[in-house]
Amino acid sequence: MRTSLSKLSITGIATAALATALTAGAAVAEDPISLTVWSDTPRLTYFEAYDKANEDIDLTVVTVAPADLVAKLQLSMRAGSDIPDVIFMSSIAYGAQLSTRRSNYLMDLTDKVPQPLLDEFYTNANSPCIINDRLLCLRNDLAHMLIWYDAPKMEELGKQIPTTWEEFEQLGAELAAMDDDYLLGSAVEPWPLYAFLMAGGCEMGVPVAGKDDTVHIDLTTENCLRPARMVDAMAANGSLSRFGPFDPNFVNQAKEGKVPLIVGPTWFGEYVMRPTYEVPEGRLAAALPLKWESQEQPLAWSWGGGTFGGWKDTEHPEAVVDLIIWSAVDIDNRAIEATLPGHEPSALAWGKRLRSDEYYANHQVLDALVDSAAFSHPDYVSQRFSVPDAIGKVVAPELANGAKLVDLLPALQEELINVARLNGYIVE
């Protein structure tokens, strides 16, 4: 579907009329720069605002389903036509998929975005955009994991909010002993499992510094075994469900107030706990990510977050860079973003609405979201293979049937090594 904005095209008739109106000898205005943007639906308002604010730019915005972006773009590149100047990438994986020898689309922004501007982003916010030591995009929103909890329920239960994974596991054991079907999350959902393991320092495809397309995969270390044992213990006592967080069985328990606390991404409170779990007004709060007692600080994995990128062969590179930067950092525009912006000044402006929202238990939710950003895992990067897909294939079905995660790590390691190599990576 092609979406027309305020100045998306100037017709030949209008152009001719304008030219006729100019008196002989008067300076003829330069034609506006025409850029094509591929966007998802939520980002359309961004580009409409930019279009209205820049008289020298005409935007043509094409709405593309997020899941279709890479395949559609690869077809356009092969055909050599209809290639967009700017794209919004809903998955961080797309950066790696669109910067290969065969699909070499993304512009290198390394020398085009001023360092002081990059410094305005949260810690590691742009890690998904750094591919083989080149900055190939700018981050739209953050999605790091932290604690979401029902404040009155936790008080009613007489429980403290955990600050370590050891305390989290102990809380699960205590709730399980109450024999009242309380849950602290899922033992089978790929993304949370991925986050549990990575938060312990497990190396499930982390990039090797200074070596292009090289990753380290080793699931035999204590950094992997320790969180795996935690998952197994909590699955065994029932505090981690063998249903996923969107499964009707889990959702029904959540609606009954049986999920007093859960580890989830920044968007989980507003877009899952509020509408799907139906946590009542005045109850939902947030706290910092968990760490292991042996760690100096948390390692918070993420679950999502989009990016903006541009075409390396565009006819208008300066205009493309300007649009990418504006999309990522314009504070007025970012303040209406649906989820937490990666740009810190924009995030604080965005948070004013959150602070005033009486739905939450207190006005400290924003503090938890932005303070947690400092702990975002540096290895949350763009890759051409999917660890969650591997977990979903090798691990999740077995866990749902009662298997132990510890016992499944060797098979998961083998799967990760195979898919990494299949996608052109060197595995160390």
Mapping DSSP to helix (H, G, I), strand (E, B) and coil, where does residue 8 land?
coil
In the prediction, which pLDDT does 17 show? 35
Per-residue pLDDT of 9-22, as tens digits, reads 322 333 333 333 33
Q: Are the C-beta atoms of 149 and 260 separated by less than 8 Å?
A: yes
pLDDT digits (tens, 9 = 90+) for 192-210: 999 999 999 999 999 999 9
Q: How confident is the model at residue 6 (pLDDT cuts 50, 70, 90)?
A: very low
Phi-psi domain of 142 (left: phi exceeds 0; alpha: psi -120 through 50; beta: other): beta
Task: Return residue ranges of the chain for CATH 3.40.190.10.
Answer: 2-142+305-355, 145-302+383-427
Q: What is the mean pLDDT of the chain?
A: 93
Q: What is the CATH number of domain 2-142+305-355?
A: 3.40.190.10
Q: Please name which of 260, 273, 266 lies closest in space to residue 288, comparing C-alpha atoms.
A: 266
> What is the band of 27 on the pLDDT scale with cuts at 50, 70, 90?
very low
Partners of residue 33 on adjacent β-strands? 57
Among 7-16, 215-224, 230-239, 330-339, which is the least confidently predicted range?
7-16
User: What pLDDT was estimated at residue 337?
Assistant: 87
Percent of the chain with pLDDT over 90: 90
DSSP output for 190-203: HHHHHHHHHHTT-E
> In terms of Cα–Cα distance, which of 122, 135, 74, 70 is closest to 102?
74
Interhelix angle 222-237/190-199, rounded to 10 degrees, is 130
From the centroid of its chain, how far is CA 130? 15
Enumerate the H helices of 33-133 as residue ranges: 44-53, 69-79, 93-97, 115-118
Beta bridge partners of 106: 311
pLDDT at site 87: 98
* Fold of the 145-302+383-427 domain: D-Maltodextrin-Binding Protein; domain 2 (3.40.190)
Do residues 64 and 72 make contact, with C-beta atoms less than 8 angstroms apart?
A: yes
The three-state secondary structure class of 368 is helix
Spatial contact of 247 and 404, defined as CB atoms under 8 Å apart:
no
Answer positive or negative: Cα dihedral of 27, 58, 47, 69: negative
Q: How far apart are CA 159 and CA 397, in angstroms?
A: 32
pLDDT recorded at residue 299: 97
